[in-house]
Chains A and B, each alone.
Chain A
């Protein structure tokens, strides 16, 4: 029978298909079970990361240089945003967002997917935050967060020292592929110590696992692990001194460093003017950045390690040590006749000092005496001593990028210019002009090494250096110190910067460095940019030195005039805070307030000027 045969065939075919379906089901649910269990879990469970609190950066006494403050923020969860236009409209009104902010939010929303939050606004006032909270039931997809933001209590005073944090950019995310990088509110170190210590400071993110429906409704919380705060970084900095020095610099442009002569600890590391790292951490506005860029005092450059200056006469104590090591007796005298004749050229001195021995030559900062030494010894005899003092050296210093300058000698000149070293090169070099350039940190290290007699290395964290004794005779070091003592406490160039303290004196050496050659004025007046730099190195107390310092004031017109008085005040601060604060209060009253007050006013003035007449050539 055809029918029976065919009906059985159909039935058999159906059974084969049925068996195939059963096999398929077994395959999915048994063989591929693991994979689908995983996918089912990743459907069901939504993981949100909570950015970890960043570790603090504290000074030597545990006082915070960088800490965290509560920051109220509003995010959007794209998957839960069902009535986008209504919600965005409400947020715009409630938080008074401008067009730029709305554009950014819309852009981020387009790029984001799922549960990846999109930031709406940070650092809200309690009032604005509360206004969102009460309307939350009608604002689906809006996620208010009580997060943390980086805070720098002393603001601009630590700008160049600490650096700043910021939201990771696309390249940084591509590099590290850390999902935390795209979590709103997460910041990474972008510059300075914040960047250098990023691995230590970042901490471990917290996580919140919630069970969610396909439409994003949270059914219940599963587990919440709290974040682990990043480790605290202890610096050698003295926060109070750091702030004092920054404030005492006033409106000047320059750098000041204080080093502990016992171990190389950097107590203060200031470059002014500076930027307020709080502004950067909150996401600096284009106009504020343009304002910083436009300032001819260069607040974005860390002059302590990236500023190179001719050191001028601050090198003379070092040159004295080199001379003694090469057989010159400190009691040998040279007569200054207002200059020094080399062949048919006459190298001028700033005065006519008459007959001088070595300590008084340092005291008077007599160029003639040192021209005489350099002519006699040659600079190749002095340069190694300069290098032993840390000049021209790049230090292993956390988080800094250094320009280390030049200590020239004949080999250097041959290599660089293919020219022979001349005696006049020696004369220029010995008074810290010509080819010589150093950064302020190196000057401070030199001061610390002269004061301690040891090869101290500067450090910002507790890092062990050998700090072995310098290979100089105690006599040589004593002469240099004695000369520096006379500079301040004898009849030297910095007598007006004696410490106003009983029993504690400071030794030092001023320096005045020409910015331009002859013909552009005398460096004592005229356009700010062409004025001489003022430098000062020093240490205190003279007996058993504890603190060494270097101050560089750009275009300060002279070390005695611009740099030494600042050093005087902050060295006083180390021994008598009240007295030092009195001096500072007087200055700040005449300058127009604290750093922050002045910066705010300057910025406001710049903005009102810039809005009508934008600074040409300022990059965005």
Chain B
């Protein structure tokens, strides 16, 4: 047997296979959505994937200490950027979510999804275990989550704000805060729903109402959900066949290459395609959950769990949305939807989890 060189052995082939599988499937769907063309989406997405995968693999080589050390600074930096877009938007006289960096548009709120997890993980990693049931364990975390969430809500971007909260709260949960805190918070949240609802923008309120009854306005704001369900439902078990989706090709499905790409896929590939994609996501999340469980440090454990949740949140909310189980919130499907920002976030998450995995492997090999 030919000995595999260690440098090759150290490359996470399995993970790359999962990521490439999901993205590759996505490229086929983008190819179809463009009417059987590699441009304008599939080719660019493919190139982007290669670049971001390399970035993830490089991040994976970083020692885990670096993330812990820079967690707070990074968090503050992203928070400043969030304030900056808010100010720019104020000056520009409208809502703005991104900063133009010349080569790409940077959405600081995307970075915040990662930064919040790192900051909270560091906070709970440093918190003495005896303090987890005290007020000290709670308020800094609430401030850390509350500030960016509020800024993102101002943009207004409900989906991302929820993603930030979800990532943060999961870190708090696995950080060991008392169970009943979450229970009572959930109860209080449910009670406060009407108040929160009244704070939403008109168009967001409308989206929520239409989500509750999409058929009430099939040609207006309920159009997205109705058309998406038609696309998925008409696909059936085996789909209409590659390049044969009428909903997407005839433009009935809005945002068929970004937020509603799952519907585009389901129309042509059917339930089988949907289950295959879910399997891919399951494998990815199983890997990162295992990394969390095997992590050597508490920071690693918390970070990996939080980032897993961030990835999961993307998937769950997007799928729930396209299947009519959640309001239209504008969250893309990780690795699948066309777009740089979300892929950057996901690949950063993957890179950090990879770093944690490498860290635990190093430790175990040293032990053995």
Q: Judge whether A221 is part of the interface by a CB distance below 8 angstroms.
A: no
A26 surroundings in chain B (CB, below 8 A): 271
Hey, which chain A residues are within 8 Å of B319, CB to CB? Answer: 21, 25
Of A3, A17, A30, A43, the residue contacting B237 (CB under 8 A) is A30
**Which of these binds chain A: B40-48, B77-85, B169-177, B337-345?**
B169-177
Q: Which residue of A lies closest to B290 (CB)?
A: A11
User: B315 to chain A: which residues have CB within 8 Å?
Assistant: 18
Contact between B289 and A29, CB atoms less than 8 A apart: no
A29 in contact with B281 (CB, 8 Å)? no
Which residues of chain A come closer than 8 Å to B142, judged between CB atoms?
A: none
Question: Do B234 and A40 have beta carbons less than 8 Å apart?
Answer: yes
A40 touches B173 (CB 8 A): no
Asked if A22 is an interface residue, CB under 8 A from chain B, the answer is: yes
Q: Which residues of A contact B323 (CB under 8 A)?
A: 21, 24-25, 28
State the Cβ distance, A128 to closest chain B Cβ, in Å: 34
- A residues 1-20 with Cβ under 8 Å of B? 2-4, 6-8, 10-11, 14-15, 17-18
Residues of B within 8 Å of A, CB-based: how many?
A: 45
The verdict on B251 contacting chain A, using a C-beta distance below 8 Å, is: yes
- 203-257 of chain B: CB within 8 A of chain A: 227, 229-237, 246-247, 250-252
* B320 proximal to A (CB < 8 A): yes
B325–A24 touching, CB < 8 Å: yes
Q: A18-B281, A40-B230 are in contact. Are A10 and B309 (CB under 8 A)?
A: yes
> B252, A21: Cβ atoms under 8 Å?
no
Count A-B contacts at CB 8 Å.
121
Residue A219 lies at the interface, judged by CB distance under 8 Å to chain B: yes
Partner of A214, one of B232, B252, B298: B252
Contact call A213/B278, Cβ cutoff below 8 A:
no
**Inter-subunit contact B266/A14 (CB<8 Å):** no
A213 with B234: CB separation less than 8 A:
no
Q: Is B147 an interface residue (CB 8 A)?
A: no
Q: Is B275 close to A, CB under 8 A?
A: yes
Is the pair A14, B312 in contact by a Cβ cutoff of 8 Å? Answer: yes
Q: B176 near A6 (CB under 8 angstroms)?
A: yes
A3, A22, A30, A32, most chain B CB atoms within 10 A: A3
B176-A29 in contact (CB<8A): no
**Is A44 interfacial (CB 8 A cutoff)?**
yes
Judge whether B127 is part of the interface by a CB distance below 8 angstroms: no
CB distance from A400 to the nearest CB of B (A): 48
Q: Report the separation of the CA atoms of residues A26 and B305 in the bound assembly, to the nearest whole angstrom.
A: 29
Contact of A33 with B by CB under 8 A: yes
Give Cα distance in the complex from A44 to B275, angstroms.
Answer: 26
A3-B301, A10-B305, A213-B251 as given contacts; A29 in contact with B232, CB under 8 Å: yes
- Which of B246, B282, B285 touches A44 (beta carbons < 8 Å)? B246
Q: Does B274 contact A (CB under 8 A)?
A: yes
The answer for the CA separation of A212 and B246 in the assembled complex, in Å, is 10
**Cα of A91 to Cα of B228 in the assembled complex, Å:** 38
Contact of A10 among B170, B266, B275, B324 (CB under 8 A): B170
Q: Quick one: given A25-B274, A29-B266, A29-B274, are A35 and B176 in contact (CB under 8 Å)? A: no
Please tell me if B16 contacts chain A, counting CB pairs below 8 Å: no
Whether A29 lies near B174 (C-beta < 8 A) is no
A81 to B278, CA, bound (A): 42
Closest 5 CB pairs of A and B: A36-B233, A40-B234, A214-B251, A213-B250, A36-B234
List 11 A-B residue pairs with CB atoms under 8 Å apart, sorted by A's residue number: A15-B282, A17-B312, A18-B282, A22-B275, A28-B232, A29-B237, A35-B233, A36-B234, A40-B247, A43-B246, A213-B250
